[in-house]
Amino acid sequence: MLVEFRAMRRLLVGLVALAVSAMLFVAVAQASHEPVKPYMTLAYPFDKPNPILYKVGVQGIVPAEYKTVANEAFTVWSEKLNAKGGEWKLVKSNFGEDIYIRLIYDQNGVSRFCKNFLAGKPPADNVGTRTAVFVGCKDQFLDVNDVKVGMLHRIGHAFGLGPALGGAVSVMCDSYDDRDGLCTRTNEPTEIDLYCMTKMYGADGFGVPNPHYVPTFCTLP
């Protein structure tokens, strides 16, 4: 229960920080008459040493291929971050986790996920360290690659990244949020995604969180 409370608190604090930082950024950009450029809002990073433990759970009969890509998404993040330097260690865990993502298959079609899916709407977005990724309902399944991109996006939120805005090219782009210009959703983390991770955690990885961090936004230099 304590873990859940902490996760809820992190979620709430993160949401408030996202809203405030986005408003501040727009106000500053307008006051200085500078053109708005691609940016990303940031929430709160983990404040703990390596490694960051994660777990992929399931609800309903989720085909194995979805579990495979869900776990691969964590590897994609860590490999891309490690290629930039530092030690970004993510470890799959069954005995406790910092990030928990549940894959949902809804056979009976009673969930809001299913109603949105069958209506052709984009999946609802969750921000936080405990989230769900919808894979299908009523014998209909999302494309496995779309689920992988959804995983990459949710993992970014779990790290503390907010939406990519201002025309950014990013795996953190939300197609329904076009603040300051349409962004482009990519299939993998991009330069701005990886750069903004180093703004939160420092260039040396998860082991040494930036002690001077304040919730804000980031843009590429």
What single letter denotes the amino acid at residue 127? V
User: In DSSP terms, which residues pair with 58 in a beta bridge?
Assistant: 103
Stretch touching Zn ion by CB under 5 A, among 80-88, 97-105, 174-182, 203-211: 174-182
E strands, 88-216, in order: 90-92, 99-106, 130-137, 140-141, 161-165, 169-170, 184-185
Please name which of 47, 52, 53, 45 lies closest in space to residue 96, comparing C-alpha atoms: 53
Residue 174, interface with Zn ion (CB under 5 A)? yes
Residue 125, interface with Zn ion (CB under 5 A)? yes
Q: Could you give the CA distance from residue 209 to residue 200 in angstroms, rounded to a whole number?
A: 7
Stretch touching Zn ion by CB under 5 A, among 77-85, 87-95, 139-147, 171-179: 171-179
Residue 177, interface with Zn ion (CB under 5 A)? no
Cβ proximity to Zn ion: between 125 and 204 the closer is 125
Cβ proximity to Zn ion: between 146 and 174 the closer is 174
Cβ proximity to Zn ion: between 42 and 205 the closer is 42
Stretch touching Zn ion by CB under 5 A, among 10-18, 77-85, 124-132, 140-148: 124-132
Q: Over the range 187-206, which residues count as b (16 or more CB within 10 Å of their CB) and which as e?
A: eebbebbebbbbbbbbeebb
Q: Could you give the CA distance from residue 207 to residue 216 in angstroms, rounded to a whole number?
A: 21
- Quick note: the x/- pattern for Zn ion over 34-73, rule CB under 5 A, is ----------------------------------------
Size of the site for Zn ion (CB under 5 A): 2
Cβ proximity to Zn ion: between 55 and 153 the closer is 153
Compute the least distance from the CB of residue 110 to Zn ion, in Å.
24
Q: In this structure, what DSSP letter does residue 123 have? A: P
Which residue ranges make up the site for Zn ion (CB under 5 A)?
Answer: 125, 174
